[in-house]
Chains A and B, each alone.
Chain A
Amino acid sequence: MQNRKHKNKAVILRQLRENIIERFFQVNGLFAVIVLVGIFSLLLIEGLPALQSLGLKEFFLNRIWDPTSFERESYGLLSMIVSTLMVTLGAMVIAVPLGILCAAYIADIAKPRVREIIKPVIEILAGIPSVVIGFMGIIVVGPMLAKIFGTSNGLNAMNGSILLAVMSLPTIISISEDAILAVPQEFKNASLALGATRWQTLVRVTIPAAMSGIIASVMLGMGRAIGETMTVLMATGNAPAMPGGFFDSVRTMTATIAIELGETVQGGIHYKSLFVIGFVLFLMTFVVNLVSDVVLQKYQKVSR
């Protein structure tokens, strides 16, 4: 009897411990969600008063952003949204083909020894601080662009795109490479056995089979590019005018927040409208992630 009681106690204790451990893991798992919801609500709470007092029209139809003007304080987000999209898409146009080709080369073509050199080099590229890349933009890429295209300076959207492409390349390459490596050898063997050349196998079998991973890598790279601040702040000239092309100076949403947050009166309308920018930026990255998720799932279904 005594013995049995003891046993029960031990069982209960063990269950309790299991429960506690389970909860612990659950809290850790939920942590990211809690942080995300926290950020979302903070942006909303801080930004909402500005939206209410100035109106959606001011933010989304006005083309001018100039909150410290003596004449008329303007809070138009359009030009900086366009600037952010321009710089990001420009970066993707450069980085996606380069990244996928590089990943295919490393995963499928390169000899093991070459691979062992290239892979760590790409990882080092990922570790270069954005300030350093921005600095390169000012002293190397800018003057080069000015010379090639005959403009008087190189502080423009093109410069930002090139730098962001460099910054998102490591993400795109390493995740794409994993995806290409994960394609079963049988697929390739079957293709080769049917008489396809190595090139045909790579382009028509291996890469399409790895497409879900490649798309994920592009989306992650894009997320990095949209949110990058320091590099674009340094290299794009920060002119708030609506850009007319890739050779105009642009000021992105991130740069605007970084430049202006320090000097605004806390709680003022200017301060709150910076949170509106943050909120819109948050929504944009959210949509990018959502789209990538949907595309990924569709693709996985088709390939199954």
Chain B
Amino acid sequence: MKKLIAVLFLVTVITGTVVAQDFMQIKGSDTLINLVQRLAEVYMEENPNIAIAVTGGGSGVGIASLIADRVQIANASREMKDKEKDAAKENGVIPYEIVVGIDGLSVVVNAANGVESLTVDQIGRIFRGEISNWKDVGGSDMPISLYGRQANSGTYAFFQEFVLLKKDYSQKMKRMNGNAQIIEGVLADKAAIGYVGIGYVYDDNHEVREGLTVLKVAKEAGATPVTPLVAENVKSGSYPIARALYQYVNGKPTGAVKDFITFELGPKGQKIVEEMSFYPVSGPYLEQNKKAGF
């Protein structure tokens, strides 16, 4: 009998603590997943009573989950579309937007390729399929093989909007599962070109992965090509395809969600953003975050 009481006591204590623990689910962008996972790990070390689960699936999937109110935070590497905002309103979800970092969206080629820089217009035409041979952009005579993401990806949508100017991707572009798969594909393919979040072009020692060239990108023909590897270029906006990395929450954040986002945007969080090879929030985005209460 005593034993039974002891067991019962133990069970209540354990379940009690589980219930008392705050559980947060974060889902979405493949570009953001490593970064947010790292942020969550460090945060959980400091706040052991809060459990955070970070999963991927793509920005579209994360936003869809937020609309369905299945997650507390959605990671997105693109802005929410109007269609999605309407769907959220219908479901009684009020999305608040927070910028957690800046990404210099990197266009990568195989190092054996030799091409070092392109204009935004050239990149757009390459991914639309209008330029299909490297010799037309100053490379050697070989057909270009395109590596991109799938339609659920925020990077896919951002790139389509701002580089392809809302035109269709070439139907011949290989639709890869994530940033890491694009890098693997480009490393193995001499004729490849792909696009990834800048956090993915580095190895563990924070050097650009061997065999990979991160292209310098020029705003237009005649302009100086700029590399995203230098923080200043991305911050100042001289790198033409920089973008904000977003988190969306339902309603003005409170409680643990608010605490976690405050941590992300604070000095410790922003240092992790830099460690993961993205760039800290700056300029007008700081103002934007203030509107959400940070």
Interface residues of A (CB under 8 A from B): 64, 66-72, 79, 138, 142-143, 146, 152-153, 155, 233-234, 237-242, 248-249, 251, 259-260, 262-265
Q: How many angstroms between the C-alpha atoms of A167 and B184 in the bound complex? A: 24
- Does B44 reach chain A (CB closer than 8 Å)? no
- Does B80 reach chain A (CB closer than 8 Å)? no
Q: Are B191 and A239 in contact (CB under 8 A)?
A: no
Q: Are A152 and B175 in contact (CB under 8 A)?
A: no
- Does B58 reach chain A (CB closer than 8 Å)? yes
**3 closest Cβ pairs, A-B complex:** A263-B60, A241-B171, A263-B152
By beta carbon, the residue of chain B nearest A243 is B172
Q: Are B167 and A240 in contact (CB under 8 A)?
A: no
- Does B131 reach chain A (CB closer than 8 Å)? no
B31 to chain A, nearest CB (A): 15
Q: How many angstroms between the C-alpha atoms of A142 and B173 in the bound complex? A: 17
A223 to chain B, nearest CB (A): 26
Interface of A is mostly: loop
- Does B168 reach chain A (CB closer than 8 Å)? yes
Q: Are A152 and B191 in contact (CB under 8 A)?
A: yes
Which residue of B57, B60, B83, B174 is within 8 Å of A238 (Cβ)?
B174
Which residue of A67, A142, A239 is within 8 Å of B172 (Cβ)?
A239
Q: Are A64 and B150 in contact (CB under 8 A)?
A: no
Residues of B165-200 contacting chain A, CB below 8 A:
166-177, 181, 184-185, 188-192
By beta carbon, the residue of chain B nearest A154 is B188
- Does B151 reach chain A (CB closer than 8 Å)? yes
Known: A263-B61, A263-B64. A239 touches B190 (CB 8 A): no
Known: A142-B188, A260-B151, A262-B152. A152 touches B171 (CB 8 A): no
- The interface residues of chain A lying within 8 Å CB-to-CB of B177 are 233-234
Q: Are A152 and B145 in contact (CB under 8 A)?
A: yes
Q: Are B168 and A239 in contact (CB under 8 A)?
A: no
Q: How many angstroms between the C-alpha atoms of A196 and B26 in the bound complex? A: 71
- The interface residues of chain A lying within 8 Å CB-to-CB of B61 are 262-263
Q: How many angstroms between the C-alpha atoms of A239 and B151 in the bound complex? A: 12
- The interface residues of chain B lying within 8 Å CB-to-CB of A248 are 172
Q: Are A238 and B152 in contact (CB under 8 A)?
A: no
Q: Are B176 and A238 in contact (CB under 8 A)?
A: yes
Known: A152-B142, A153-B189. A240 touches B171 (CB 8 A): yes
Residues of B121-168 contacting chain A, CB below 8 A:
142-143, 145-146, 150-152, 157, 160-161, 166-168
Q: Are B145 and A153 in contact (CB under 8 A)?
A: yes
- Does B87 reach chain A (CB closer than 8 Å)? yes
Q: Are A260 and B145 in contact (CB under 8 A)?
A: no
By beta carbon, the residue of chain A nearest B157 is A68
By beta carbon, the residue of chain A nearest B84 is A265
- The interface residues of chain A lying within 8 Å CB-to-CB of B151 are 67-68, 259-260, 263
